[in-house]
Amino acid sequence: MHPIKLPSVLAAFAALLLFSSSAIAAPPTSGIVSAHGRLRADHSHIVGEDGKPVSLAGVSFGWSQWEAARFYNAGVVNWLKQDWHASIVRAALGIDPAGYLGQPAENKARVTAVIDAAIAADLYVLIDWHDHHAHQHPELAVAFFQEMARRYGHKPNIIYEIYNEPMGDITWAQDIKPYAERVIAAIRASDPDNLIVVGTPTYSQDVDLATADPIKDPNLAYSLHFYAGTHKQSLRDKALVALNRGFALFVTEWGTCLADGAGGVDAPSVQEWMTFLREHQLSHCNWAVYDKHETASILAPTAASIGNWTDADLSPSGRFARELIRNWSADPAK
């Protein structure tokens, strides 16, 4: 477990000053997207418009339909940029009866609020179809991503993530790949060039299986998810298989703890992972902007819905992830 630093009287005083200064952080005028432009998969690297590798660090919002719903706003996006130095955020459209299936307008509005705020803040944003069963209703994803591509496809900020985590009981060849090809075709009808990230078998771990039978598209990466308490070198070995074949990977979600969101913060394992991500110039988003009572949530229930969080509003995992993201350079040479 990562040691927890108790907030000092001084820190509490500073937080009070900060809190009184502004209700919502002001949106910055320029940033990471202005510097690197539309991202592109170039063999095993994600590069900017100048052809140089870009390695982003940021945070994923939690499922849009539950505890995380209150955080889907510009205040939080701006706070993640200003205070966490995030270069990317991930809007996780929850697809289940309580989410997009049952309340499509409400959940889509949350996600587009984050997308619009990310564009205004000059951040990259993943539009994440956060579903374990996406192949069972491909027509829904096709319609949603068609709309997103028409609305946002001209913006360099946008990255499409079309299947969060396929489960282990389906196959790449028969279930995931045919679904992905349908959704990709729908996106490409309106947006020929923005990066698309495809989920891989077994909760986006089997990048070796997906890249053995790759999808043909000019700008594609494969999802690699890890939870540091559960996944170690054997998963990095799978990643190396895909990278050595010349395919780009994107860590659209990772956690400090066990794969079920519990356990402690496994700091040594996170460090091994971050060394690996740095070495291979990979981008990553920490799970999650959430105040659910589990280790992976970055927030405590005291956290304000619009950002301006003090140390005491963060969970141990949140404090740990914040330090890591603040110290990450998008330029892999630094």
User: Residue from 49, 106, 139, 193 that binds Mg ion (CB under 5 A)?
Assistant: 193
Which CB atom, from 4 or from 185, has the smaller least distance to Mg ion? 185
Q: Which of 165, 191, 291, 313 binds Mg ion (CB under 5 A)?
A: 191
Is residue 49 within the footprint of Mg ion (CB under 5 A)?
no
Does the footprint of Mg ion cover residue 73 (CB under 5 A)?
A: no
Question: Total number of residues binding Mg ion (CB under 5 A)?
Answer: 4
Query: Could you tell me which stretch among 1-9, 73-81, 182-190, 192-200 binds Mg ion (CB under 5 A)?
Result: 192-200
Residue 148 or residue 207: which is nearer to Mg ion going by CB? 148
Which residue is catalytic, options 139, 253, 279, 323? Answer: 253
With CB under 5 A as the contact rule, the residue among 53, 62, 153, 229 that binds Mg ion is: 153
Q: How far is the CB of 193 from Mg ion (least distance, A)?
A: 4
Candidate ranges 83-91, 112-120, 152-160, 236-244; the one touching Mg ion (CB under 5 A)? 152-160
CB nearer Mg ion, residue 40 or residue 322: 40
Work out the number of other CB atoms within 10 angstroms of the CB of residue 306. 18
Catalytic one among 165, 181, 294, 323?
165
**181 has catalytic annotation:** no
165 as an active site residue: the answer is yes
Pick the binder of Mg ion from 64, 164, 194, 286 (CB under 5 A): 194
Positions that interact with Mg ion (CB under 5 A): 153, 191, 193-194
Q: Any idea which residues carry the catalytic annotation?
A: 165, 253
